[in-house]
Structure 1
Amino acid sequence: MGDTFLSQPEFFEVELGESLLSRTETLASFRELGPPDLVHVIKTTGSSARSARDIGSYHYVSGVDASSSAALAAYINSLTYELDQNPGFFSSKAAYKLKSGAYCCFNAFSRVDVRVEVRIPGSVDAYVVDLRGERHETTPEIWQEVYLSALLRAILYADDANYRLAGYRKLDPISSPDAEHRFLQAAENLFFKGWQLGSDPEIQVATVVSNHLTAGILKYFGEASRYEQAVNLFEKLWAREPEVAALVAQAYVGMNEEIKAVQVMHTAIRETPQSYALLHAQVDFLRGKGKPEWALKVAKQAVNCAPSEFLTWAKLTECYIDMAEWESALFTLNSCPMFTYNERDLHRMPTPAKSHLPVKAFITESGLVNEDSARDTEADVALLRLPAPALRGTFAKAYALLGRLVSQIGWDELLRYRSNVFVMEEEYRAQKAATSKSTDALNDADDAASTRGLPPSASDDGGVSGATTPVVTSSTPPQPSNADAEIDGLDSAAQSEDEDGDDDSMLKRSAGAAGKSQLGVNAAANASSQSIPTIKISTESDHEREQKELEEYMKSIKDDNLDEPSEAEKRATEEARRSVQIDAPVVEKPALASSGHDAGDLSTSSATSQQDRGGSNSGAGHGNGSGSGNGHGNGAGKPSMIVNGEHDASIAMAEARQKEKNAGFSFRDKRLCERWLDNLFMVLYEDLRVYTIWRAEIAHFRTQNLAYRKTGTEWEILGELALRLHHKDEARDAFQRCVDVKFSAKAYLRLLEMYTDQKDVQRSLWTAIRLTAYHHRWYMEGSFPGAVASALFKLIKTEGLAKVSYTLVSMSPPQPILKLMQNYFAYATAFKVPGFDF
């Protein structure tokens, strides 16, 4: 058709100029590097205004030189040669020609959109559109910023799976050494503004050394193993900013200049000891040299320097995994701060009237890129719904660490360490129930201690009728019963003992009455009548007498009961005898509590302090308590025995605290697992479950000598699954079966990485041929940077350019494809990639 480009993608607008209007409206939503460049053109038929028919179309592009308005206008002019100027003789369509065009390029530094409008033939107009849609004049600073922004987008998003758009044309961002020199000059001028561009999703706060600018520089020179230019740039900047030493050290390590890297790190750590980027450079170097214990110490220091960064915690987790400290690795992974993943800056265009995505003739003729059939794209629902492929940012990195853990210790061991480190749901429920019970027991014990809790009374038939009932404190107590009067008589006797000094006579008379009434009190009457007792702090003579009364009471209970006491009761009684004791008060004549509220507070605190001191004084208390026969107030230095009427409360408190100590010790040592990490465990479980079923199916089919068949999409998903779980052999087998069934760019890319690592030149080249044809099918016309170029440069570095190029020629690929492949070798020669000269 005459209204379309011959070999370039385009989307036709419903209304003329709607793509430009949509971009203007979404400028404020761009947060980092911004969207790809937008090219909008208007085509027209005829020369007169009446007969002319205008149509608008647009496409995306990256890699175009955006250093000036003339460079952008040149790209629009080049599109005039893409129009079909020779329509069919019988065609009713009139020939279209390019009337005007607009090139939009986002400036990520100043957050504005630079636009160049070209009228053919005619003038070129360049202006700036801000976030409010207002126009401004361009400046040299604006042009430098937009030039560097466009280059960084082309470099960083060259092979980003999250930045793939239909109709996105990618060209070489840097096509000559001169263009590279201009790139380095612009990077040097704007280096200290790089933090304004943002950073990777794993970095919370962009810094001078951690941002998209430094990432783009390291990627461009690192993938080609050409760190010399990067070192020259970073050393200039190091003199102005000491923190840049981390980048200098990384570049030297990439050049295999490790001695220089160590010298740089040694010098820089004195100037900037709190730079986590510099510490991470040391960690990577030490790990590479097989010193994980040294790397661990440095990684801990990096966490102290930047505790809010995910990278520092993730690096520490990797060090713990290297040291085989699995529990510490889980602890650290659980402490990682996680950030919400922000999607790439992309357009949200109106639905086009139609799309035009042409295929170049030589791609079709080569037969290397086969269109997917409906049968090959089908897959099992269980495979399609695996949650792991949807993870992004910090969650994807954390899952990778978790996958590394399970690959080294196995799922069962991981669960065991997980239960040792984190609180499990069953433990939480049990601890919650135990805490509730112990809290109730302590409350009951405190109430009983404050009211001098009483033992259970015997029923009519001689058995124990019930447990001790806690007394509820009331501000308006009812009239006391006989039992209460006798208890009050005991307290009155103690008061008169303090006032009159007649200790022996009063204690003997009160003990005779109170001993019987207190040990045989009716619990129901006590619960209804005794509300606010009079609190008394016992002296040493009281303790001796009360111990004898307790022994007599326990003996009578033992005689009355026909059944043998249980082991729990024996242990409780023995524990009460040994541990629930108090020290004698220092003051021989303590003051009487004046009110119910004060008395309750005094009694509770007294009982608590007695319980706390009982454990340390138990041995001495037994020894001296039995030999004390005349305690009349001169026993301030002697240990005392159990307080009268408080033995049940003390026993309950001791049992509750002991149970809490035994059950809650390991509980308190554990941590709560973060919700996101718990979700990742479930994601990992799903992956392992599907992987185990897959391997079991293969083993079963092999034993039965049957063919195991899957669709191409299923093999692709299974290959990614095996790769996530670090089963490289199984992943390679799955990817190979996938490409046998259908064409899969993802599977070919994974195989290219594996073949390159194995230094398999022929297979690597054959895979690169297919990927290059696929990339040109979808308008990725750039040679570098990219995954194919990186793999080939790795081969050239080890095998030499001559061997790789001659091997390619011997494979006899189609001539147009051979020319495309030779572009990689031409780049290697022009930029002197390591290995180009042998």
Structure 2
Amino acid sequence: MADTLRDIPEFFETELGESIIARTDALGSFRELGPPDLCHIIKVNAKPGVKEIGSYHYISGVDASSSASLAVYLNSLTYSMDDSQSWFTKSNAWRIRSVDVRVEVKIPGGVESYYVDVRGERHEATADIWQETYLSAVLRAILYSDDNYYRLAGYRKVDPILNLQSEKRFLEAVESLFWKGWQLGSKPEIQVATSVHNHLTDGIMKYFGDSFRFGPAIELFKKLHVKDPEVGALLAKAYIGQNEEIKAVNVLYSDLRLASMGYPLIHVQVDFLRTKVAKTKKKYGVGEFNMALKLAKYAVDTTPSEYLTWAKLTEVYIDLNDYKSALLTLNSCPMFTYNERDMHRMPPSLKTHLPIKPDIISSGIMEEDAGRESEADSQISRLSAPSLHGTFAKAYSLLTRLANALGWDELLRCRSQVFVMEEEYRMHKAQADHRKSMSTEELGQKLKNAALTEPKLPEASVEKPTQAADDEQQEKEVSFSFGNKRLCERWLDNLFMVLYEDLRVYTFWRTEAAHYRAQKIAYRKTGTEWELLGDLGLRLWHESEAKEAFELCLDHKFSAKAWMKLLEIYAKEGNTQKALLAAVKLTVYHERWYHEIVYPTEIACNLNSLIRRVGLAKMQNILTSMNLPKPVQKLMTRYFDYGELFQVEGYES
């Protein structure tokens, strides 16, 4: 079409400029990093009387350090017009916390830049505003590179850091703005963002961690460490990532003497101990976890209002096989309401243009979903666990760890031993009301007989858990006692029901599959059902079963999720051939959907881990032996070019 951009996604407006108006109206609702950047285009035809056309797309990774650098991207779009006779003006919106930096390029004409506040008023874009704009744009590109929440149609991703010089500029901006980083907010499981826990530090650790090259991060943190000992938590993590553990221990030792109340420092030490003890567990025994336990308890004492401290203590109790304490600690976790991410809320588009590059179409590698293979049984597709977010998703992961360690029956027994069960509470209260004179000994015996029991379950049956009593059911004036038992929080009670549903479907799947195998009958599921079962297997810590399900999914349909999960599994196993095949499939899929970013991505991270293991030369040779079409080979070579340019571990071998 003459009014579309070649190889660039577009949403066409019904009313000219409506996307910019919608973004301006939404500025006040943006709380943290903001949504992906918005590029708005106005096209004007040279023929008189032809109406102007407005379109837009989302973009991240473009250099936003100045109006000139943004103009470069905007001008590049002129070469993507299918009709070379058209000319147009372009405007771009770049989000930075409470203001919106915008650049307008008029062709022919000039460049105008300004920022818009939450009231929609224009202001001059100062040097400080530009620096914040640049850094926040890079962080969005890094943190949203694999973020499933921002799977937007028409979202183009390009590399935010192209070479060592641009990496140096990124580090300089980080150093300049580091102490403002808390203003960007943090992960949803963190209640209060700090100078150590925020989106800025997450971006730094992801960028350098995914390539396992912590050297530049260490130099950065060493400078910042002088001002605040809590930065020692980041420095120690970087040292550990760089295999310089003695330096990490020295940093933790000196900084904990200066900031003993800082839970980030304590947690780094806890994780370090857990890792070291886990490696030597057979030699030294479980008791060596006790030091980590003392530290985790101290972190809870210093910061009892944060989910992270209680969750870490829960993990240590699980390490120690103290499952009752783990369950009680999990029940004490402060839970936070999950706030939805900042998103664009645009009016319905007049039409959508999502072109596919000719090289991708002709590669023979791109696959599309097959009709019926996208269907799924409602019992599998309606499981509640995938809809959990924030602290509830993290807590559910801990609960599934407990279930995996104990087994369902034993977990329910453990639950009834530490929590007051609903039926038990009712019977206990009734006895207290009607038999005030009952002796303590007799009451204890009655309670023991009436306690909730969970019988062992045959084959595919999973017993549904009885509800526990919560604090709304307990009356303050009740005088009798349940000893050491606690009231189960309602959210944890609900997570038990979510776990029950997951286990019920999983148990039925494994039992049914075994039955079909015994009968030598093909066990059939749709591609989507296998994908969902693979997810289920991973949630419940059954990786081999999950791997099997994801591979069966790919026998029926293309699934980016299945390929990504298998890439992680193959990379962990050291299966370079299969990992590279997965990376090829995913790269072509991402290129089709305008994800042109090479690093940092999950694909690059997993390939980097293999480069560390077998060396870059071997990876390149395996890729060559795959005889891929030239355009696909070129796409894949970018990962190895990055490894050479930035000298990731293994690049010389």
Query: What TM-score, normalized to structure 2?
Result: 0.92
CA distance in 2, matches of 1:798, 1:132: 54
Superposition pairs for residues 254-653 of structure 1, below 5 Å?
254-290=241-277, 291-438=288-435, 441=436, 653=437
Corresponding residue of 1:558: none
Which residue, 48, 69, 76 being the options, matches 1:71?
69
- CA contact 2:383–2:502 (8 Å) conserved in 1: yes
| Structure 2 residue matching 1:43: 3-state secondary structure | strand
Instruction: Kindly provide the amino acid, as one letter, of the partner of residue 835 in structure 1.
Output: G
Equivalent positions of 1:37-436 (< 5 A) are: 37-46=37-46, 50-85=48-83, 95=85, 97-108=86-97, 111-290=98-277, 291-436=288-433
How far has the Cα of 1:669 moved from its partner?
1.6
Cα shift readout 1:312-369 (whole Å, capped 9, x = no counterpart):
1000000000000000000000000011111211100000000000111111112222
Q: Is the 8 A contact 1:22 1:348 kept in 2?
A: yes
In structure 2, the residue matched to 1:34 is 34
Structure 1 residues 771 and 661, CA, compared in 2 at 3 Å: closer, same or farther? closer
CA distance in 2, matches of 1:667, 1:796: 57
Separation of aligned partners in 2, 1:763 and 1:144 = 42
CA deviation map 1:115-160 (0-9, x unaligned):
0011001011101100010111110000000100000000011001
The match for 2:475 is: none
Aligned to 2:627: 812
1:231 Cα offset (Å): 0.6
Q: How far off is 1:661 after superposition?
A: 6.6
Counterpart amino acid of residue 241 in structure 2: G
Quote the Cα distance in structure 1 between the aligned partners of 2:137 and 2:46. Answer: 36
Deviations 1:451-497 (A, max 9, x none): xxxxxxxxxxxxxxxxxxxxxxxxxxxxxxxxxxxxxxxxxxxxxxx
**Distance in 2 of aligned mates of 1:657 and 1:779:** 71
Q: RMSD value over aligned CA atoms?
A: 1.2
Given that residues 62 and 158 in structure 2 are in contact (C-alpha distance below 8 angstroms), is that contact kept between their aligned partners in structure 1? Answer: yes
**Paired AA for residue 437 in structure 1:** H
1:782 maps to what in 2? 597
What is the CA distance between 1:214 and its match in structure 2? 0.5
Match of 2:540 among 718, 725, 735: 725
User: What residue identity is the alignment partner of 1:15?
Assistant: E
Does the Cα contact within 8 Å between 1:310 and 1:336 map onto a contact in 2? yes
Structure 2 match to 1:509: none
CA contact 2:530–2:550 (8 Å) conserved in 1: yes
Establish whether residue 704 from structure 1 lines up as the match of residue 522 from structure 2: no
* One-letter amino acid matched to 2:268: A
* SS state at 1:26 partner: helix
Q: Which moved more, 1:337-346 or 1:179-188?
A: 337-346
Q: 1:762 aligns with which of 568, 571, 577?
A: 577
Provide the secondary structure at the position in 2 that maps to 1:132. Answer: coil
Alpha-carbon deviation of 1:660?
A: 5.2
Q: 1:722 offset after TM fit, Å?
A: 0.7
What's the CA shift string for 1:34-62, capped at 9, x where partnerless? 01110001111115xx4232100000000
Q: Which has the larger radius of gyration?
A: 1
- The answer to whether the 8 Å contact 1:403/1:684 transfers is yes
Per-residue deviation, residues 192-248 of structure 1 (Å, max 9, x unmatched): 000100000110000010111011000100110010100100010010111111111
CA distance in 2, matches of 1:698, 1:28: 53
Contact 1:41 1:98 (C-alpha < 8 Å) held by counterparts: no
Long gaps (5+) in structure 1:
87-94, 442-652
**Alpha carbons 2:181, 2:200 under 8 Å: kept:** yes
Letter in 1 for 2:69: A
Q: Supply the AA of the counterpart residue of 1:138.
A: A
Look up the equivalent residue of 1:786 and give its one-letter code: T
Percent identity over the alignment is 59
**Is the Cα contact below 8 Å between 1:22 and 1:350 reproduced in 2?**
yes
SS in 2 for 1:376: helix
Distance in 2 (CA, whole Å) between partners of 1:809 and 1:349 is 44
Question: What's the secondary structure of 2:372's corresponding residue?
Answer: coil
How far residue 85 of structure 1 moved from its aligned partner, in angstroms, is 3.1
Contact 2:45-2:87 within 8 A present in 1 as well: no
Whole-angstrom distance in 2 between the partners of 1:656 and 1:706: 62
Does the residue aligned with 1:395 lie in a helix, a strand or coil? helix
| CA distance in structure 1 between the partners assigned to 2:484 and 2:25 by the alignment | 54
CA distance in 1, matches of 2:432, 2:131: 67
The separation in 2 between residues aligned to 1:24 and 1:354, in whole angstroms, is: 22
Counterpart residue identity of residue 129, structure 1: V
Count of matched residue positions in the alignment of Structure 1 and Structure 2: 611
Tell me the distance in 2 between the aligned counterparts of 1:212 and 1:19.
27
> Does the Cα contact within 8 Å between 2:3 and 2:83 map onto a contact in 1?
no
> Given residue 342 of structure 1, which amino acid in structure 2 is its aligned partner?
N
Shift of 1:663: 5.7
Alignment correspondent of 1:824? 639
Alpha-carbon distance, 1:164 to partner: 1.2
Cα distance in 2 for residues equivalent to 1:328 and 1:826: 50
Equivalent position of 1:14 in the other structure: 14
**Aligned mates of 1:211, 1:430 — CA distance in 2:** 48
Quick check: 1:796–1:834 contact (8 Å CA) kept in 2? yes
> How big is the shift at 1:98?
3.2
Preserved contact between residue 101 and residue 119 of structure 1 (Cα < 8 Å): yes
Counterpart-to-counterpart distance in 1, 2:369 and 2:234? 44
Distance 1:808 1:292 in 2: 44
Determine the C-alpha separation between the residues in 1 that align with 2:96 and 2:532: 38
- 1:115·1:127 contact (CA, 8 Å) conserved in 2? yes
Aligned match for 1:746, one of 553, 556, 561 = 561
Check whether the contact 1:427–1:667 (CA below 8 A) recurs between aligned residues.
no
Output the TM-score relative to the length of structure 1. 0.72
1:74-124 Cα offsets, whole Å, 9 max, x none, are 1110000111137xxxxxxxx5x231011100112xx10000011001011
Quote how far apart the aligned CAs of 1:662 are.
6.1
Q: In the alignment, is residue 25 of structure 1 matched against residue 22 of structure 2?
A: no
What stretches of structure 1 move > 3 A for 4+ residues in a row? Answer: 655-666
